[in-house]
Chain A
Amino acid sequence: MHNHHPSVELKTSSSIALIGHPNVGKSVIFHQLTGHYVTVANYPGTTVELTRGAATHFPDTAVIDTPGILTLPSRTDEEQVTAQVLFDEPLRVIIQVGDAKNLRRTLQLTLQLAEMGIPLALALNMMDEANHRGVSVDLNLLREHLEVPVIPTIATRGKGIAQLIEQIHKTQKPSFFIQYPDKIEHAISYVESHLPDSNISKRSLALLWLGRDPAAESWLKKHIVSNTYQELLNHRKLLHETGEDSPGTLIRLTRMEVVDRLVNLVLRQTDLGFRGTGVWLGHLAIQPIRGVVILAIVLYVLYWFVGIFGAGILVNLLETNLFGELINPLVTDGIYTIIPIPIVADFFVGEYGLWTMGMTYALALILPIVSTFFLAFGIMEDSGYLPRLAVLTNRVFRIMGLNGKAILPMVLGLGCVTMATLTTRIMENKRDRLLVIILLALAIPCSAQLGIVMGMLASVSLSATMIWLVVIVVVMLSVGWLAARVLPGERSPLLLELPPLRLPIMSNVLIKTLARLEWYLKEVIPLFLLGTAIMFVMQKTGLLDLLIQASEPLVSGWLGLPADASAAFLLGFLRRDFGATGLFLMEAQGLLSPVQVVVSMVTITLFIPCVASVFMIGKSRGWRTSLAITAIVFPLAFLVGGLLKYLLVAIGWGI
């Protein structure tokens, strides 16, 4: 290691950015260029993750793995973060990771990056996939025309990485120049005259500005006086009003022409009729009937891995054997001898103790379940199956005024609703994001809760499980249907790339899983402890009994549950699964009838997921929204629960 200061903050004087489309192997190349020390952090002010690592072959240099982008000017959060990296980072080299089999798309981005005036190298990755599909590229000719080093790579097998590293040392500022139509060229020179110096060339900054790039806009707002900014804004507005095509479209079409000419020179495509297993399976997975069969298989494997292995075997091992028999008795005895004051000791190891309830719960019950879930989700993510799931489920989400993309946060929500709230940013607009968040908060049970709910319902009967499932699905569909009609704005139709199905690279999946677990431990466990502490204080001050008494009419009268269930529901306010656990214990003692089990499970499933998720909604969507969702979900959960009770009693079910 050349790095003399292996500082935790990874402060380096220059950096190398990896930029490219989604699913082109940026992360694989990233791991080959960096050592073991890698940080994954949200980009300031966003929920987009940015990975940094110290470069192995370059002293005092960081490598940045930027989120996959489709195009600039930026339109999505990911694209904005990548644009911000270009503006703010002391970039020494940009490495574009490109997909060799989609040369047109790749070069589209190359031209844009070349215009920025930062030394650039193009790693043309997945050469093997391109060869299989009969795509061959004349690399020498491409290098000659682009005046940019082009390195063929097969990153998954480490091919071409050494040459890439060698080329990074030699890269120079690209001199590629595109002449745009007169209208655009005039606009560029006008805008350029008002721009301050920045990391990227004035010309490319002007082009981003003309294409209404939000990252360029906010950077300029900070770096020029407001009068000038207003002038630029007026100039652009005027430009948009004249002519049929917007400046952004004109710029894009000009670049496409250049790319087309270039591609005609260097690309040879022969149709080999490539039919690999991945392609075959990829197509099968989106067929109307066979796709559903594949989905059923995937779900079964997921259930087996997370539900039976994670929630069953691992939890049993950790909770009963490790914590229940070994650690907790030791800790309890230890605390009582160290701290002789009972009330203080209770705070740590009592009924609502920080250790005995909060930590045990978080580490022994939740951690194994979310670990297995995140691992399974990572595999699904990297294999390219999730976009196909979106295609299959598109019609269902259409009813709820959404498109199939919403399946991604929904599936992730089955693991952890709080984390799923973060990923709603993949939805196209605010309306869609809000809709998904409402549905997540209302109807998606997280893995910890799901395990308990399933266990309880299964012990009653299969029909109990079916009733629960039907009620939850009907509530979700009707609330979604209603919300879609109430919320202003239009539904955005599905438009999604289907990357080829691939075998995921396990090291990448593991790194991603570990990063997610780290986040989980840091963000969620403190909230667990906070919740436990609140419960402790409430119990000791007698507030808990008071609240239980106050909620009795609702719980006993309306829902027809035993009085003790009030405590479980109060716990459910802090965490749905806390509440479910409380009910689980009651059922184990034979205190609940079948009807009561179903009613309580439906009500607790429809509850707000947990304090953590309310915080997360507040953070990402504003506190008003968070409050509004809470105010809708609670009454609704009780309403549905009560109505279900009357219905079940009326038809004489479960007696």
Chain B
Amino acid sequence: MSQQPEADAPTDLTIADLAPGMEAKVISLQAVQEVRRERLLAYGVAPGRTIQVLQRSPATILKVDQTELAIENDVASRITVTEPNRMKRAFHHGQRRRKRRFRRGLKFLQRRKRNKR
């Protein structure tokens, strides 16, 4: 792992900002409504735990441990996460497509940062 993110550094990134294949640590679920927060915690989407985004459309698909969860963007955008970690094999697409997706994901994040400034 070359680019280890600073542990739990405060960012304003949410799961909705991650591209398919990216991994990140959950920081907070405070913005999620209590009923759903309880369920997310029970599924393992908890502060400090690593999640991986598998897919973004038609819904966000997350992987926590060996559990796959489908959540809507409304929920995904309320869960803050750390800077995404390395790219993991998302699915079983070809190598080229995976690389393309990774680059697209990185560009997306850079653009987002630029826009903030």
Interface residues of A (CB under 8 A from B): 70-71, 75, 99, 101-105, 108, 130, 133, 135, 246, 248-249, 252-253, 256, 273, 275, 280, 282-283, 286-288, 291, 387, 390-392, 394-395, 403-404, 428, 492-498, 500
In this complex, the member of B36, B72, B92 whose beta carbon has the largest number of chain A beta carbons within 10 angstroms is B72
Least Cβ–Cβ distance between A82 and chain B, in angstroms: 14
Complex Cα spacing A102 to B65, Å: 6
A496 and B69 contacting across the interface, CB-CB below 8 Å: yes
Top-7 shortest CB links A-B = A71-B42, A493-B72, A101-B66, A498-B68, A493-B74, A494-B72, A391-B70
B31 interface residue per 8 A CB criterion = no
B66 and A495 contacting across the interface, CB-CB below 8 Å: no
B92 and A105 contacting across the interface, CB-CB below 8 Å: no
B12 interface residue per 8 A CB criterion = no
From known contacts A283-B91, A395-B58, infer whether A495 and B69 are also in contact, taking CB-CB under 8 Å.
Answer: yes
Query: Quick one: which of B38, B46, B69 contacts A75, CB cutoff 8 A?
Result: B38
**Residues of the B chain whose Cβ atoms lie less than 8 Å from the Cβ of A99:** 66
B36 and A495 contacting across the interface, CB-CB below 8 Å: yes
B54 and A497 contacting across the interface, CB-CB below 8 Å: no
A394 and B58 contacting across the interface, CB-CB below 8 Å: yes
In this complex, the member of B40, B67, B75, B91 whose beta carbon has the largest number of chain A beta carbons within 10 angstroms is B67
Least Cβ–Cβ distance between B41 and chain A, in angstroms: 6
**Residues of the A chain whose Cβ atoms lie less than 8 Å from the Cβ of B71:** 493-496
Write the chain B residue with the least CB distance to A126. B66
Write the chain A residue with the least CB distance to B45. A495
Least Cβ–Cβ distance between A517 and chain B, in angstroms: 31
**Residues of the B chain whose Cβ atoms lie less than 8 Å from the Cβ of A130:** 66
Least Cβ–Cβ distance between B72 and chain A, in angstroms: 4
Write the chain B residue with the least CB distance to A282. B68
Least Cβ–Cβ distance between B70 and chain A, in angstroms: 5
In the complex, per-residue mask of B53-78: 1 if CB is within 8 Å of any chain A CB, else 0: 01101110100011111111011000
Query: Quick one: which of B38, B55, B68, B92 contacts A71, CB cutoff 8 A?
Result: B38
B97 interface residue per 8 A CB criterion = no
Write the chain A residue with the least CB distance to B41. A252
Complex Cα spacing A262 to B105, Å: 35
Number of interface residues of B (CB under 8 A): 31
Complex Cα spacing A428 to B35, Å: 10
From known contacts A105-B65, A275-B92, infer whether A75 and B35 are also in contact, taking CB-CB under 8 Å.
Answer: yes
In this complex, the member of B37, B68, B74 whose beta carbon has the largest number of chain A beta carbons within 10 angstroms is B68
Complex Cα spacing A62 to B25, Å: 45
Least Cβ–Cβ distance between A166 and chain B, in angstroms: 29
B55 and A286 contacting across the interface, CB-CB below 8 Å: yes
B42 and A495 contacting across the interface, CB-CB below 8 Å: no
Complex Cα spacing A394 to B73, Å: 11
**Which of chain B's residues 70-104 have a Cβ closer than 8 Å to chain A?**
70-72, 74-75, 89, 91-92
Number of A-B residue pairs at CB separation under 8 A: 105
Complex Cα spacing A212 to B26, Å: 26
**Residues of the B chain whose Cβ atoms lie less than 8 Å from the Cβ of A246:** 34
Least Cβ–Cβ distance between A211 and chain B, in angstroms: 9
Complex Cα spacing A496 to B40, Å: 10
Contacts A252-B38, A275-B92, A283-B55 given; 9 further ones with Cβ under 8 A?
A70-B43, A101-B65, A103-B65, A130-B66, A387-B70, A390-B70, A494-B72, A494-B75, A497-B68
Complex Cα spacing A415 to B89, Å: 41
**Residues of the A chain whose Cβ atoms lie less than 8 Å from the Cβ of B44:** 102, 104-105
Would you give 23 A-B contacts (Cβ < 8 Å), ordered by A? A70-B43, A71-B38, A75-B35, A75-B38, A99-B66, A102-B65, A105-B43, A105-B67, A249-B37, A282-B68, A288-B57, A391-B70, A395-B58, A403-B72, A404-B70, A492-B36, A494-B70, A495-B75, A496-B70, A497-B43, A497-B68, A497-B69, A498-B68
**Residues of the A chain whose Cβ atoms lie less than 8 Å from the Cβ of B65:** 101-105
Query: Quick one: which of A108, A492, A498 contacts B69, CB cutoff 8 A?
Result: A498
Query: Quick one: which of A252, A280, A493 contacts B92, CB cutoff 8 A?
Result: A280
Complex Cα spacing A404 to B71, Å: 10
B36 and A70 contacting across the interface, CB-CB below 8 Å: no
A392 and B58 contacting across the interface, CB-CB below 8 Å: yes
In this complex, the member of A130, A256, A387, A495 whose beta carbon has the largest number of chain B beta carbons within 10 angstroms is A495
From known contacts A275-B92, A286-B55, infer whether A70 and B39 are also in contact, taking CB-CB under 8 Å.
Answer: yes
**Residues of the B chain whose Cβ atoms lie less than 8 Å from the Cβ of A291:** 58
Write the chain B residue with the least CB distance to A100. B66
Complex Cα spacing A496 to B43, Å: 10
A102 and B66 contacting across the interface, CB-CB below 8 Å: yes
From known contacts A70-B43, A497-B69, infer whether A394 and B59 are also in contact, taking CB-CB under 8 Å.
Answer: yes
Least Cβ–Cβ distance between B63 and chain A, in angstroms: 10
Complex Cα spacing A428 to B33, Å: 13
Query: Quick one: which of A75, A102, A249, A280 contacts B39, CB cutoff 8 A?
Result: A75
Complex Cα spacing A392 to B59, Å: 8
Query: Quick one: which of A133, A252, A390 contacts B66, CB cutoff 8 A?
Result: A133
Complex Cα spacing A480 to B33, Å: 24
From known contacts A275-B92, A428-B35, infer whether A498 and B61 are also in contact, taking CB-CB under 8 Å.
Answer: yes
